Every structure is written in structure tokens, then in C-alpha cells.
Structure 1
């Protein structure tokens, strides 16, 4: 923390609860987010507290939105008017909000604005294994990577102070591991309710001058923060673990991986024999502190999830081991991985054997369509139709692998319509109503404007079924306003269920619309059995 303050209370909580308490104590007035693993459960904590109908403070609000770019833009509006704000998204959501985020850094903001990016090492509930820490380099903002509940609380408190000192947003990268971790936090006095508003004097500078101003006046403040913050902690050991040649061994870690390291070292009895550098602020990287740590070490293991973000920046030191050298795997880190790395630390490079059992268990554990999903008849029909089908990052993506093999490709949330527009012949876009509201509606507008040929099947279950059952806006009237050929089909209608091959059946309707020129949209209603 910037200032030493006496704690007003202590509590034991998990990492996400620590983030929640810290936001409350930081006087955050607005929380926006888009549902997705692993941040959904964090947002639910705020929804219980920040509700206009359930709080005495009508200036507090928390709400789910359907698009990450919009979520950040709403938060930016709060910031420039002097209200601290928080944005919660999963890692792929960072791609969506990056446009206004990058501009906001040189544009400057007002009150503190923090973005919590939920990463998914191990790809347990996502379409890829992306590392949000890279956005620190792209956007040129601070990136915190909390290792435990205590660090998470302190990071939020400091992040809002730093955001207002530098007039830029701050990113905090979290994983599901942080939510599972338990620890004691010391809650500090609540932050002042007075926060800065947007300073219009920045408009005296041209765009190029704003960037020059940032690097001359703002980034040095961030570098100084990284080098001197107590959140980046060195734990030197005098009786170091002996390795070949008599040199010293060290470990550099960041985020929840630091807790994995600590647990392993304590259980193995090596916690007092291996020096550690624990990084909770990873961008800008504390170069001077790292150089000092490396100076007397023969070997240093870099432990991080998911990508070698830190390792790649210090690899030139020559004594670094980690993902790039094969000592550790990409993605999630376990105690077994650390044990393997330390057993092979004297080797320059390690060829890790492929674990065939992991591959087989992955096949068995692959998420599948619910057995009572109302859309199963549709997926079975799509499997056997000789037409290219673009799916989306909703439930339909689970129909891509065998045994359904219904959709052919699926790239991003809201992408199905635009992808299908690129097919050589008229194809099908299968998109959920949440994905349509997220960004698919833009693809539909462009399809209409450019005269593409596509059949759009909107799976209207009225919830975001992949992320917790959040409500979805009804866009039927909006679609009818731009598309002339719009139909509706109810999967749960008993008459439809017993009309296979008739004009009342869904296969007949799809076949009919595929034969027509231009754009057709079919809203297919089905009640999600899970929600």
C-alpha cells in the first residue's frame, strides 16, 4: 500500500471475496461485467450488494451487460464524472474491450478504474488459453497478478490510488485458483469519497503529444511503483538448496502460481532453502529488482500461468528455466510440475514426455450438450445436411465434436453470422440469443447492408446458458426491423414435435429457407432445462 494504515478489522476469506471487500472499501460506485468463467462468481458477490432497489445509496450499481466494450465504456463514463468503477470480464473479453482501453491511456480518465480479467489456465471453461498479462505491454498500463487473498485485497486498494495518480486504467489478472485459496485479510479504513473528474486540459495536446506526455510523465511513475512496491517481495535464503557447481537456486513466480510454489516448498521442507521473488505487480516488470535477484543465482526457475510472459523478458540472463526450456508446461501449474522442474533444474533443456492418459481423460471430460437439451433434434439434423454451418461460442460449440458433429467452425462469441457470410454458397449460422446481443447483431446488420446470402438460426432460450443463466435481451423486433424474412419456431410445441417431414417441422422450414435468395432468420425457441 502507498500509506501505512491501521487495519479496522480482520477476516478469513477466499481470494474473490478479498477482491470484493477491497472494492467496497475503495468506494467503488459502479461495477459492470460480462458473464464468463471464472469471473461470474465474483460478479455475483457485487450483485447482492450493489442493487438500486436494495441499497440506501442510489449511486451504487452493479449489472451484467452483453458486451465487454460497452461494459468498459460505461465504466469510463463513470470515471470521468468522478465515480470509481470496476469492470469484470473473462480473458477473451479483454480482446473486445481493447479498443477503448488503449485509447483511454493517452486520453486519460478521472476517478479510479480497474479491470479484472479472469484467465483460464487449463482451459476449463473457455475457447482458448489466453494470458491477459500481455495486455500490460500492449496497452502500457499496470498489471497486477495477485498470489493470495491478502495480496488481492492490497492490490485493489493500491490499484485505485495508482489509477487516479496516473489517470489511466489498471488491469488485475485473476484465475479460478485465487477464488479457491483461503487466507486472512486486514481490512483498511474506507477510501475517501472524493475522487478526481476528467481534466479537460489534456485537449491542449495533440494526439502524438499525448503519447509523448505519457512516456515522459506517467510511465516512469509506473516503473518506480513496480521497483519499490511491497507487493513485489524478495525472500532470500542464506542456506540455499545446493545444486551442481555449488551455485544458488532461486524461484521467480507471479499470481496464484506463487501460492502453488509456497505450498510445495513447505510440504517438501525446502521453503527455507530456496530464495524466492514473488511478483504481484508484473507490468511494468521490476527490472532492477529482478537483476539484483539473479546476480548470485546459478539457476532461476520462473513459475507462471499460462504463458512465459516474465520468462521471455528475462531469458537473456542465461540462467533461466521455465516453460521455454521445457522444465514447466504451458497453462496451469501444479505441485507435480514444480517438483519435476526442480528435479531437472541442472539441465539446460528438458524434453517433457507426452502424457497419453491426460489426452484420454481430456476426451472423456469434454463438455457435451445436455442430454435433455431442446435443440438436440436440430443438431442431429445439421449433422446430416450438406451445407456449411458456422457455430458460435454458446452451447452450440459443444455440438461440433463427435458424436453430434453438427457445426463445422466456431471462432468467437457473436461471430457465426459474419463467418457464414464468407461461405462460398449460402450456409447456416447457428447463434444463441446472448451471442446475438453480444456482437452478432453487428454481423447481421452488415450482412443486410452488403446483401450476403445466409440462413441465421437464433437459439432463443432467453438465458446465457454457458455462463450461469443470466437474462438475455429480446432482439426479435430489432431483427424484424432490418430483415424482411423472419420466422419463429417453438421446439417445445407438441404439434411441432410430432410433425417430422411435414410443413410444420423444423427441417422442412430450414430446407425451405436455404432455397431462398438473400437473408433469412429463424428464431428457434427452446426452454433451457438447466436454468
Structure 2
């Protein structure tokens, strides 16, 4: 491992990133042949669990996981996460194991069928891989997918290492079939790129079954009662005995951790500190956790991103809520500082919001074919709703084009709420993902807006995945639909002004080719 002092002396290095990167690259340096990354561990677990289909939506940090499946497992990028889960549920009903791969914000989109599926019951095992983005490297927000386990009442695994990730996926399929609900496995970019030894187990312990249609003998209320009579007790029993939870007693003070931060804790924990590592955090194995707290005078909870475990504990613990640890991403020095303050009930914490100037934000590519269009919009004095595709990069200086951009596919719906006729900028992937519902609503309720679709036929922000061509659908639904080439010798501003002056809804399909793809 490199000398930390030498590394830290180099101009431009961020302390947190260096400490984390150096400690965890140590695994690669020391690794022997046969060691694998977290990404490989997940792929092997799918193969060894006899998964028949994997669905999902691209996005950081999970795009590479779907791509790594290659030709070994049937897989497809779905239009949106709700459809991805619905397809997986259909496979489960017919007795085929399935998986859904999504980033954390995709959990919001698939939550509708997820919540219902727990009491509806399923057939073969179904696992949802939720890729979280602590530190918000490439996302529109920072959220914790583990919370969906509490909302939907389904099991949640939070593995710390590639080996634990492999075992978690294997056991998750077995557990899913035992409790007849989907199972969530939360992972992060650091877990996917970390390395460790994996012992593969090819043989599955059980034979997947189809959905038992006798569940329809019960009312909706009866299904929830049945869930708490059979499924949830089985979840609690599994969580309490799972070997993915490890307990090392070494002193009067202790740390409870889950997920990738467990590896950080293991790398720097003092010899006189005990450590309870939780591989499954919903249902929380309360008997084990309470015993750990009873046996220690001071207990620190280390987890990313929100205090999900911490909030469930009735006895006093230290963590994010007491100021010992920050919200979001956890680094080694955060844990070290918390250990140093283990005897303090609270720690004063200054939260300094990160700025674009400090971090630096990727700007629109200099050869982007839509720059003439963006410049023309900039000259108009109208409110502009953006989306979470490439257009989000026009929100910051020097363009400062967007007034709001809430989620993928939200531009049209947001623009419908403007007090005067404005513009919705949406990518063709955002339109197919969920924006089409906003367009249907806009026409149905006779809203006034101009919709500009950036039609480059790829999801450029996530790797250039193909996008369906909705030209026929849009033009048949919105009478005033016009196709333009933003790089042609045309007066784009004049076109926009005329559309804004007209009544009703206008759509411009701005066709161009992304130079990157």
C-alpha cells in the first residue's frame, strides 16, 4: 500500500477519497488468483441460482452489472423500473427465478407493484438489486433503498464484501421462495469494485414453484393477515439465525455496522472494540442487536446513507442522529473520529453544503448537437422544466437554462403546472420511461406548453442504450408536432416563439446524433 503521507501531499487529492481508495485497493494488491470483484460475485450468484431472466433500467452504479451478464442469462433493459419489476413478477408467477437491477431512484418507480407483491405472494424467487449512490456521484439525489424494505415489509440484505454479496443473492432467492415475497439487496459502487474470495455453490437447495392461486380465496385484508401469519414470522426467524450476521465480542464498547462500511470498520477497529456486522437489516434481528447493546456500555452504529438501523433501536446508541457520523457516504476518517468521541453523548457537526464550484460538474459536451437549441431557449423569457437526461447539465452556469428538474420523465408534468405557457425539455428515453404519461395528461386536460423532445435514439447519460422511436405515437396524439434538425440552417428562436404564441400543446422532435454513440 502506498505511503499515505506521500499520497496526501499531492495537490488536489481529497482526504476522504484517498483514504477510502488506498485502503480498499489493498485488497487488489494482496489478492490471490481466484479472487473476484463484487460485480463478478453478483453475476456468479445469478448463474448459480439458476436465474432465468434479469430486467432493469440503466444508471449508476448498476449499468455494468447488467452488461456483465453477457449471453449467459437472458436479460433486457426495460422502459422503466415498474415495467421491469412487473415482468420479473410474471416470470416468478410461472415458476422461473428472476431479478431486477435498478439504481436507487428506480426503487421509487417500482414501489407500486413491490408493496403489493408482498401480500399478493409470488412463485419462484425474485431478487431486486438496488444500487445506491452515497455521496451522489451520478444521481439526482441521495437516498437509502433499505427504507423500501420497511415500507413494503420485505427482506433487505446489505452485504459488505463480494463474498457476502454472493451468499446474500444465493440465500435471497431461497428466502424469497420461503416467504413468497421479493427480496431487496442493497449495494454500492464501492462494493461492486471491491475484491475478495468467493466460494461458488452451484446446487440450489430448493425447486422454484409457481404461484399458488389459492391466495385468491382471501380478501385483500385477508392477504395481509396471511402475510403476518406466515411470511413475516419466517422473515424474522431467518434474520435471527442468519450466518451473514457476525458477532465479535472484544471490549466494553462496540460497533454495529452494515453494508460496505463494515469493511471500513474491519480495517481500523481498535482491538478493544466489539463488532456486530449485520448482513440482513430487515427484519432487524432485534434479539441479537439487543444482546449486543446490553453487553456494551457504548454502541456506535455505522451505516450508509440514512440512520435506518439507528432509528429502529429503542436503547440509546451513537451515530448519525447524535452527530458522531455524517449522513450519506461513510469514509474511514469518519469512523475514526466517531470512535474518538465514543464517550460523548453528542458531537457538534458543521454541515457545509457542497457547491458545484468546489466539486466540479460535467458540462454539456462541446460538440453536442443540441447547443444551438439550448442557446435559442436561453434567449426566451419563459419557465423551463428539464429532465434527468443530458439536459440536466444545462442547469448550471454558463447556460443556467432550467428552472426545475425533479425526476426522469417529469419535465412535461412539471411544465403543465407553470402559471404561463412554458417549455418542457425531455430526452426520448425520459419520454418513453414515464414522460409519455405526462404528455397524455397534458392533452387530456388541455394544458398550454411546448414540449421539446431531444430525439437522439439513445440513453446517452447511461451508456448509449437504445430507445424506442415514439414519433408515430406522438405525432398521432399531438396535432402540432414538428420535426427539426437543431444543426440545420434554421431560425430556431423564431420557431420556438411561434410555438409559444400558439394555443394548446406543441411538440418539437429535435433529431440529432450523439457524437459519443
TM normalised by structure 1 equals 0.89
Does the 8 Å CA contact 2:104/2:131 hold for their aligned counterparts?
yes
**Quick one: distance in 1 between partners of 2:196 and 2:356?**
32
Displacement of 1:354 = 4.5
1:473 aligns with 2:468: yes
Displacement of 1:382 = 2.1
**Quick one: distance in 2 between partners of 1:218 and 1:121?**
31
User: Structure 1 pair 193/521, CA: closer, same or farther in 2 (3 Å)?
Assistant: farther
User: Structure 1 pair 202/368, CA: closer, same or farther in 2 (3 Å)?
Assistant: same
2:256 paired residue number: 252
1:27 aligns with 2:29: no
Does the 8 Å CA contact 1:11/1:186 hold for their aligned counterparts?
no
User: Structure 1 pair 362/154, CA: closer, same or farther in 2 (3 Å)?
Assistant: farther
For 2:110, what is the secondary structure of its paired residue? helix
Displacement of 1:11 = 3.2
**Quick one: distance in 2 between partners of 1:323 and 1:449?**
46
1:108 aligns with 2:108: no
Match of 1:381 among 376, 383, 390: 376
Displacement of 1:73 = 0.5
Match of 1:347 among 332, 344, 348: 344
Give structure 1 stretches of 5+ with no counterpart: 1-9, 51-60, 241-247, 497-503
For 1:430, what is the secondary structure of its paired residue? strand
Encode CA deviations 1:383-409: one digit per residue, 9 max, x unaligned: 231101000111111111221111110
**Quick one: distance in 1 between partners of 2:357 and 2:184?**
32
**Quick one: distance in 2 between partners of 1:418 and 1:361?**
27
1:117 aligns with 2:121: no
User: Structure 1 pair 369/293, CA: closer, same or farther in 2 (3 Å)?
Assistant: same
Match of 1:359 among 354, 357, 378: 354
Encode CA deviations 1:289-326: one digit per residue, 9 max, x unaligned: 00100112111110000000001111x312x1111111
Give structure 2 stretches of 5+ with no counterpart: 1-32
2:196 paired residue number: 183
1:509 aligns with 2:495: yes
1:393 aligns with 2:388: yes
2:436 paired residue number: 441
Encode CA deviations 1:31-60: one digit per residue, 9 max, x unaligned: 00100111101111113423xxxxxxxxxx
TM normalised by structure 2 equals 0.92
Does the 8 Å CA contact 1:492/1:527 hold for their aligned counterparts?
no
Displacement of 1:361 = 7.2
Displacement of 1:380 = 2.2
For residues 61-140 of structure 1, the aligned pairs below 5 Å read 61-140=74-153
Displacement of 1:438 = 0.1
**Quick one: distance in 2 between partners of 1:364 and 1:154?**
36
**Quick one: distance in 2 between partners of 1:99 and 1:87?**
14
Does the 8 Å CA contact 2:258/2:302 hold for their aligned counterparts?
yes
1:453 aligns with 2:448: yes
1:415 paired residue number: 410
For 1:151, what is the secondary structure of its paired residue? helix
Tell me the C-alpha RMSD between the 2 structures.
1.4
User: Structure 1 pair 166/407, CA: closer, same or farther in 2 (3 Å)?
Assistant: same
1:317 paired residue number: 315
Displacement of 1:442 = 0.8
Does the 8 Å CA contact 2:159/2:186 hold for their aligned counterparts?
yes
For 2:199, what is the secondary structure of its paired residue? strand
After TM superposition, the runs of 4+ consecutive aligned structure 1 residues lying more than 4 A away are none
**Quick one: distance in 2 between partners of 1:301 and 1:362?**
34
Does the 8 Å CA contact 2:386/2:425 hold for their aligned counterparts?
yes
User: Structure 1 pair 423/191, CA: closer, same or farther in 2 (3 Å)?
Assistant: same
Match of 2:222 among 209, 212, 217: 209
Does the 8 Å CA contact 2:373/2:486 hold for their aligned counterparts?
no
1:308 paired residue number: 307
**Quick one: distance in 1 between partners of 2:439 and 2:361?**
31
User: Structure 1 pair 354/440, CA: closer, same or farther in 2 (3 Å)?
Assistant: closer
Displacement of 1:65 = 1.1
**Quick one: distance in 2 between partners of 1:478 and 1:418?**
18
**Number of residue pairs matched by the alignment:** 485
